[in-house]
C-alpha cells in the first residue's frame, strides 16, 4: 500500500492559479492571504519553541558529524563562530553552555545509551514540528491507525536524516571556505580577497540554504511536491532567511532583549 497516495488529498494548484499567469503583486497577495489563513505565525512560534529545546541535541549530533572530519575542538569552534555571526555573542554563548551541559550529562553504560536515544528524538523534534506545519499548509489529512503510525515513523527517520545532512552541509561549507581563502591568498591580494571571499561565501551560503530548504519542502510533507516547486520555494526561503538573519542580528546587537526578559532572557534570544 502506498502511504503517500493514501494521504494525498490535495493536489497541485489548478492550472488557472499558476503563479506564471498572475502578476507579482497578485502572487504576493495570494501568499499573504494563505499565510494568514493557515496561521503560519502560530506555526512558526511552535517551531521556534521546539527548536529552543531541541537545539542542544541537534548541535551535538551536528558536531559529531563535523568532528569526524575536523576534530571536536575545531568543529565546535567553527560552528559557534558562525552562530555568533548570525545571532550575536549572547545567543551563541547560551547555545554553547547548553551543548556543554548536554555533553556532560551523557554519562556511560546504560545512561549513555538512553542519552543517545534522547538525543536522536530531541534532535528530530524540530523537523517533526516542521513536518506538521507543512502538512497544514499543504492541507494534508494524515490517516489513522497503522498508516498514521508508519507516517509518524517515516517523519522521525527523515527528520534525523536532515539533522545528519545539515552536519555534512556544514562540512562542505568549512571545506569550501578554506579553499576560497587559500586560493584568494595565492592568486589575489588581501584587499581583493576580502571582497571576493565575502561575495563567494554569500552566494555559496544562499545556494546551500536553497538546497536545504528545498529538501525540507520536497521530502518533509506527507504529500508529493514537485521538484521545481520545492526548488523555487527553497530559493525564496533562502533569500528571506538571509534578509531576516541580518535584520535579527542587527536587532539583537542593539537591543537589550536578554535583559528585558530577566532570567528567561537567554531562552527568548534563542527562540528569536
Mean pLDDT: which of 134-143, 197-206, 246-255 is highest? 134-143
- 245 in a domain, yes or no? yes
CB contact set of 103 (below 8 Å; sequence gap of 6+):
60
Q: Which of 128-132, 144-148, 224-228, 247-251 has the highest mean pLDDT?
A: 224-228
Tell me what pLDDT residue 204 has. 78
Q: What is the pLDDT of residues 162-188, one digit of tens each?
A: 766 766 666 666 666 666 666 666 666
Q: Is residue 252 part of a domain?
A: yes
- Grid coordinates representing 224 are 508529493
Of 96, 154, 100, nearest in space to 127 by CA: 154
Residue 17 lies in a domain: no
Residue 14 belongs to some domain of the structure: no
Instruction: Report the pLDDT averaged over residues 110-119.
Output: 62
Q: How many CA atoms lie within 13 A of 98 on its CB side?
A: 20
- Residue pair 123/163 in contact (Cβ under 8 Å)? The answer is yes
In a domain, 263, yes or no: yes
Is residue 1 scored above 50 in pLDDT? Answer: no
Q: How high is the pLDDT of residue 231? A: 92
Rounded to the nearest integer, the mean pLDDT of the chain is 71
**Which structural domain range is residue 216 located in?**
36-271
In a domain, 28, yes or no: no
What percent of the chain stands above pLDDT 70?
A: 50
What pTM was estimated for this model as a whole? 0.66
Pick the residue with more confidence: 246 or 239?
A: 239
Is 30 contained in some domain? Answer: no
Per-residue pLDDT averaged across 236-249, rounded? 81
- Specify the range with the lowest mean pLDDT, choosing from 45-49, 81-85, 101-105, 156-160: 101-105
Work out how many domains the chain is built from and give that number. 1
Q: What is the 3-state secondary structure (H, E, C) of the chain?
A: CCHHHHHCCCCCCCHHHCHHHCCHHHHHHHHHHHHHHCCHHHHHHHHHHHHHHHHHHHHHHHHHHHHHHHCHHHHHHHHHHHHHHHHCHHHHHHHHHHHHHHHHCCCCCHHHHHHHHHHHHHHHHHHHHHHHHHHHHCCCCCCCHHHHHHHHHHHHHHHHHHHHHHHHHHHHHHHHHHHHHHHHHHHCCHHHHHHHHHHHHHHHHHHHHHHHHHHHHHHCCCCCCCHHHHHHHHHHHHHHHHHHHHHHHHHHHHCCHHHHCHHHHHHHHHHC
Residue 5 has pLDDT above 70, yes or no: no
Residue pLDDT, tens place only, 131-156: 888 888 888 877 676 776 777 777 77
| Position 112 in a domain | yes
CA 43, CA 133: separation in Å to the nearest integer? Answer: 6
pLDDT at 103: 63
Under the banding of pLDDT at 50, 70 and 90, the label for residue 74 is: low
Amino acid at each position: 500500500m502506498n502511504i503517500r497516495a493514501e494521504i494525498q488529498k490535495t493536489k497541485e494548484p489548478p492550472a488557472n492559479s499558476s503563479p506564471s499567469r498572475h502578476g507579482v503583486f497578485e502572487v504576493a497577495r495570494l501568499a499573504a492571504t494563505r499565510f494568514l489563513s493557515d496561521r503560519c505565525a502560530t506555526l512558526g512560534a511552535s517551531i521556534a519553541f521546539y527548536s529552543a529545546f531541541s537545539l542542544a541535541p541537534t548541535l551535538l549530533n551536528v558536531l559529531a558529524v563535523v568532528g569526524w572530519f575536523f576534530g571536536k575542538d575545531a568543529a565546535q569552534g567553527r560552528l559557534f563562530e558562525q552562530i555568533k555571526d548570525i545571532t550575536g555573542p549572547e545567543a551563541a554563548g547560551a547555545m554553547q553552555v547548553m551543548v556543554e551541559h548536554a555533553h556532560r550529562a551523557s554519562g556511560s553504560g546504560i545512561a549513555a545509551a538512553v542519552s543517545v536515544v534522547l538525543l536522536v528524538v530531541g534532535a528530530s523534534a524540530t523537523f517533526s514540528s516542521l513536518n506538521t506545519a507543512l502538512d497544514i499548509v499543504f492541507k494534508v489529512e494524515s490517516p489513522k491507525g497503522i498508516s498514521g503510525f508508519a507516517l509518524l515513523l517515516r517523519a522521525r527517520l527523515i527528520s534525523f536524516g536532515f539533522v545528519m545532512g545539515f552536519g555534512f552541509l556544514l562540512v562542505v561549507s568549512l571545506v569550501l571556505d578554506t579553499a576560497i581563502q587559500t586560493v584568494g591568498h595565492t592568486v589575489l591580494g588581501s584587499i581583493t580577497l576580502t571582497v571576493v571571499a565575502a561575495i563567494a561565501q554569500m552566494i555559496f551560503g544562499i545556494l546551500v540554504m536553497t538546497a536545504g530548504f528545498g529538501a525540507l519542502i520536497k521530502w518533509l510533507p506527507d504529500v508529493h511536491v514537485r521538484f521545481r516547486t520545492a526548488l523555487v520555494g527553497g530559493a525564496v526561503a533562502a533569500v528571506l532567511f538571509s534578509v531576516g538573519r541580518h535584520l535579527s542580528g542587527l536587532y539583537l546587537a542593539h537591543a537589550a532583549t536578554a535583559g528585558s526578559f530577566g532570567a528567561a532572557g537567554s531562552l527568548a534570544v534563542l527562540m528569536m
